[in-house]
Amino acid sequence: EVQLVQSGAEVKKPGESLRISCKGSGYSFSSFWISWVRQKPGKGLEWIGRIDTSDSFTSYGPSFQGHVTISVDKSIRTAYLQLNNLKASDTAMYYCARPGYCNDDSCRDLDNWGQGTLVTVSS
Amino acid sequence: QSVLTQPPSVSAAPGQKVTISCSGSSSNIGNNDYISWYQQLPGTAPKLLIYDSYKRASGIPDRFSGSKSGTSATLGISGLQTGDEADYFCGTWDSSLRAGVFGGGTKVTVL
């Protein structure tokens, strides 16, 4: 069974940094990319970016470029999303998800999702 | 403001059918056949329902269907059940943004 297990909820102050983890199991980890998706309270889904777990190639959505960093440690089958200089507007649920297929040009459906990590930024 | 446009809500009685539209442009829905639909039950992560515009994901009943025409896609849910009450999102790749894009979501209510 494919599983993506994310790290637990976080409460941070404005200006702090945070790294969320996503550990994959039940499949060949380096054969699939990982994407990250944000969902603000009561709102829709926003695509943050993606990483090729085999060679760490990354790409980001225009709204997130320069504000987040996606990385991977394939030796422990774990992808990461780093958020720097946190603001109250970063308060959201963050999901990792596995695209069914990706290449350098595009990705398709997200066929497996992590349980989500709730990030609260408050002074 | 989401790149793909969905109606905020739809509703119908149990056993009836609802359709949810997802409108895009020539750089996303109009540019590929890889439209996906997700169901998000309250308090849970999204779950893949439909991929490649019309293919059902593993374990998804045939009450759920997908289609695409031009720059729009549609999700149909027939034989509506109370367990179908959820938010539904469409998604695809945008070749101009070089990013994944989603609709704003549609809340399905079973009357």
DSSP state of B31: G
Q: How far apart are CA B12 and CA B51, in angstroms?
A: 24
Q: Are strands B9-12 and B106-110 parallel, antiparallel or unpaired?
A: parallel
Mutate which: B48, B50, B58, vs A, most A CBs within 10 A: B48
pLDDT value, residue B1: 86
Mean pLDDT of A4-30: 97
Query: Taking CA A70 as the corner, what is the angle to CA B100 and CA A77, rounded to the nearest 5 degrees?
Result: 105
What is chain A's alpha carbon radius of gyration, rounded to the nearest angstrom?
14
Residues of A in contact with B27 (CB under 8 A): none
pLDDT along chain B (111 residues), means of 10: 96 97 97 96 97 97 97 98 98 97 98 94
Rounded mean pLDDT, A44-55: 97
Chain B residue with the nearest C-alpha to that of A43: B104
Measured at the CA of B92, the angle between CA B72 and CA A81, to 5 degrees, comes to 150
Quote the pLDDT of residue B85: 98
Residue of A nearest to B104 (CA): A44
Tokens at A47, concatenated: 């695509």
Residue A104's pLDDT is: 87
DSSP labels for B57-108?
PTT--TTEEEEEETTEEEEEE-S--GGG-EEEEEEEEETTTTEEEEB--EEE
Would you say B99 and A62 are in contact if contact means Cβ atoms under 8 Å apart? Answer: yes
pLDDT confidence of residue B48: 98
In chain B, residues 23-52 whose CB comes closer than 8 Å to chain A? 32, 34, 36, 38, 45-48, 51-52
Q: How far apart are CA B91 and CA B86, in angstroms?
A: 16
> Count of residues for chain B?
111
Q: Which two tokens stand for residue B57?
A: 């994901």
Position B52 scores a pLDDT of 96
Residues A52-110 have pLDDT tens digits of 999 999 999 999 999 999 999 999 999 999 999 999 999 999 999 999 999 988 999 99
Identify which of A56, A68, A64, A3 has the alpha carbon closest to the alpha carbon of residue A30.
A56
Q: Coil, strand or helix: which one is B42?
A: coil
pLDDT value at position B9?
A: 98
Tokens of B74: 């549609």
